[in-house]
Amino acid sequence: MAYVRWSHYFLPTWKEEPAEADLPSHRLMLRAGLIRPLAAGIYTYLPCGWRALRRVEAVVREEMDAIGGAELHMPVVHPAELWARTGRLDDFGPSLVRFEDRAGREMLLGPTHEEVVTDLARREIQSWRQLPLMLYQIQTKFRDEPRSRGGLIRAREFTMKDGYSFHEDAPDLDRYYPEVYRAYERIFRRCGLSPVPVEADPGLMGGSGSHEFMLAHDQGEDTFVRCAGCGYAANREGAVAVKEPDPDEPLLPQEEVATPNCYTIEAVAAFLGIPTRKTAKAVFYRAGKELVFVVIRGDLEVNEAKLARVLGTTELSPATEEDIVAVGAVPGYASPIGISGDEVVVVVDDSIPSARNLVAGANKEGFHLRNVNFPRDFPAQLVTDVALARDGDPCPRCGGMLRVQHGIELGHIFKLGTKYSQSLGATFLDRDGQARPLVMGCYGIGIGRLLAAVIESHHDEEGIVWPTEVAPFQVLVTVLNPKDGDQIALATSVATHLAQAGLEVLLDDRERSPGEKFHDAKLVGIPVLAVIGPRSLRTGEVDLERRRDGVRNPTPASPDSIERAVQDLLRTG
RNA sequence: CGGAGAGUAGCGCAGGUUGGUCAGCGCGCAUGGUUCGGGACCAUGAGGUCGGCGGUUCAAAUCCGCCCUCUCCGACCA
């Protein structure tokens, strides 16, 4: 293996901060010459960025192979008809890029590959003897996200490792799923990351069990809750929090009270001098044709994901004023008491039944009702938990305190069950000769996002600090004056020797001032820097510097001692 | 899709309100020279349809209209 000469490589660095980047990983990937934007959420990987990406891929491949995965490669372009059969053509909505081929066939750019892999399994898997099976790929996906941001953290075109396992029955999936879980933990640890595994909402993917691996990060695109006490962690969409009931008190008779200009819960509570949790808040949504009237304790917020799930819908949007008026409610003073219409569904959050003598709207401009109680005063079609867990709420497992955190979703694993195999007719014959649908799991990791997350977690003021395992090169050999024949001779012999020892070596032989080369070295973040300058020729020593902590060791300039010292630094750095 | 902001040389920006020596600055780039252990210096030089289209005007980077693109916040998101 040969070393790479920077003067003949393509590693363009930027001295100045790009104006258009906010996240450290995004800024550094641009500055350190790893990526360049082509359009919103669409990036070119430059050679050094591509090398780093391949290092991450190598880790993922090793761990996937270790749990019996077989790598394959599926198409980017899918026939829309296949997606129509699972119903996801509509479910995915506008983030699915669709087009017609020249024959007028509807096609799309694959945002994920459940349909394609299940179709493959349908054709090829006939017998229980072929199971279990784990197939995976590392491949480009495209999702026309309404909002791409943060560089590779949330791109529209992105590289993903997606794996799919096939099983005879649910118990076999249950047995295998933890193996994938542990493989994921190993992958992230090798990349220098410690994401929190959280219980997740399977969402559009369907299925019964699901975990997301969330890297805690203030600017993360996702939100989850975690209990410091017992380790309970869940995606915010699925998180459950304990709602402490009010002390029991006798139910008082309803009475009307004037509350002029009180259009919000806060205003009503302040006006009447009561805490917000002694009010009932009315929130309206439209779900297709139906109007949904949610009643929830005034201090809580509606969790729209939970609501959509209990309603069994994917189309949930806030209702308009006209919608609200149409069912006999008064915006700002809406009440569950006295509304009407066949197409209204009243959903009562489970915070309401245990609450006593609440203040609710009177469906009359300027008035509220005191002492409203459920179910005494109004009916509901559904009573269930639709509240958003809050920071500081009690943990459902141990009663400790939940913390809300932002995070970057690095991976997501699902027990899909038979959702896709059933809709696509992917069956096999079991030991008794019975046709049964394949039981599936699916497992994703955003590779580009993972790379960005590595940088997000491993950088300092001056640049990237690559963990050795995913560094694009392990050693940077910098020749301070490449025009000096003795320096370049020493440097090339060191670089050659290190490369022959199996290390990936970048030789900075550019004719630049030393300061500039040192700064670029920090920026690009290769774990070990070997400096060869006039001093080396004088003293017979090469300076080895570890990027992580700046520790410098003068090392005798013989190739063997340098290799030993470099290996030492890599092991500890 | 809603809110906010931005598009002037490869990058970072000034100029714009008051239309007219207004095509500018720093970095970078090219050439020559001096430097060479933590973003050196001198000299010379190249590089821009001022995002696009249309309008107002004797005259538009500057004023008006429409459109495009990008960024951030929100909605959304395997």
More confident residue, A229 or A119: A119
pLDDT score for A4: 97
pLDDT score for A320: 74
The 10s digit of each residue's pLDDT in A127-171 is 999 999 999 999 999 999 877 888 999 999 999 999 999 999 999
The 10s digit of each residue's pLDDT in A90-120 is 888 888 999 999 999 999 999 999 999 999 9
Q: Specify the amino acid at residue A380.
A: A
Cβ proximity of A347 and A316 under 8 Å: no
pLDDT score for A286: 79
pLDDT score for A411: 95
Name the average pLDDT for chain A: 91
pLDDT score for A340: 67
- Which nucleotide lies closest to A40 by the C1' atom and the CA atom? B70
Cβ proximity of A542 and A557 under 8 Å: yes
pLDDT score for A244: 82
- Which nucleotide lies closest to A483 by the C1' atom and the CA atom? B36
- Of A138, A88, A78, A66, nearest in space to A109 by CA: A78
pLDDT score for A341: 64
The answer on pLDDT for A528 being more than 60 is yes
Residue nearest to nucleotide B5 (CA to C1'): A20
Distance A457 CA to B36 C1' (A): 35
pLDDT score for A114: 96
Distance A16 CA to B20 C1' (A): 36
Residue ranges with strand state E in A268-401: 280-287, 290-297, 317-318, 344-349, 358-364, 367-372, 382-384
Distance A79 CA to B7 C1' (A): 38
Distance A403 CA to B2 C1' (A): 30
Peptide bond into A375 cis (omega under 30): yes
- Which nucleotide lies closest to A143 by the C1' atom and the CA atom? B77
Q: How many CB atoms sit inside 10 A of residue A448's CB?
A: 24
- Which nucleotide lies closest to A23 by the C1' atom and the CA atom? B72
The answer on pLDDT for A313 being more than 80 is no
The 10s digit of each residue's pLDDT in A456-503 is 999 999 999 999 999 999 999 999 999 999 999 999 999 999 999 999
Distance A511 CA to B36 C1' (A): 10
* DSSP code, position A146: S
Q: Kindly give the interhelix angle for A559-572 and A485-500, rounded to the nearest 10 degrees.
A: 60
Residues in chain A: 573
Share of chain A above pLDDT 70, in %: 98
Residue ranges with strand state E in A310-357: 317-318, 344-349
Distance A14 CA to B24 C1' (A): 23
The pLDDT of A54-66, averaged and rounded, is: 98
Distance A18 CA to B17 C1' (A): 29
Distance A294 CA to B3 C1' (A): 27
Distance A21 CA to B62 C1' (A): 29
- Which nucleotide lies closest to A160 by the C1' atom and the CA atom? B78
Distance A28 CA to B70 C1' (A): 19
- Which nucleotide lies closest to A147 by the C1' atom and the CA atom? B76
Instruction: Tell me the C-alpha distance between A167 and A440, whole Å.
Output: 6
- Which nucleotide lies closest to A204 by the C1' atom and the CA atom? B78
Distance A17 CA to B55 C1' (A): 39
Domains of chain A, first to last: 24-193+419-455 (3.30.930.10), 255-384 (3.90.960.10), 473-572 (3.40.50.800)
* DSSP code, position A132: S
- Of A203, A183, A157, nearest in space to A419 by CA: A203
pLDDT score for A130: 98
Which strand (E) or helix (H) includes residue A177?
helix A170-190
Residue nearest to nucleotide B38 (CA to C1'): A515
- Which nucleotide lies closest to A522 by the C1' atom and the CA atom? B38
Instruction: Report, in ranges, which bases of strand B sit under 7 Å from a protein C-beta.
Output: 1, 11-13, 26-28, 35-40, 69-78
- Which nucleotide lies closest to A202 by the C1' atom and the CA atom? B78
Distance A257 CA to B23 C1' (A): 69
The answer on pLDDT for A288 being more than 80 is no
Distance A30 CA to B31 C1' (A): 30
ipTM of the complex: 0.94
pLDDT score for A471: 97
Residue labelled with tokens 């750019």: A109
- Which nucleotide lies closest to A38 by the C1' atom and the CA atom? B70
The answer on pLDDT for A172 being more than 90 is yes
- Of A389, A390, A386, nearest in space to A294 by CA: A386
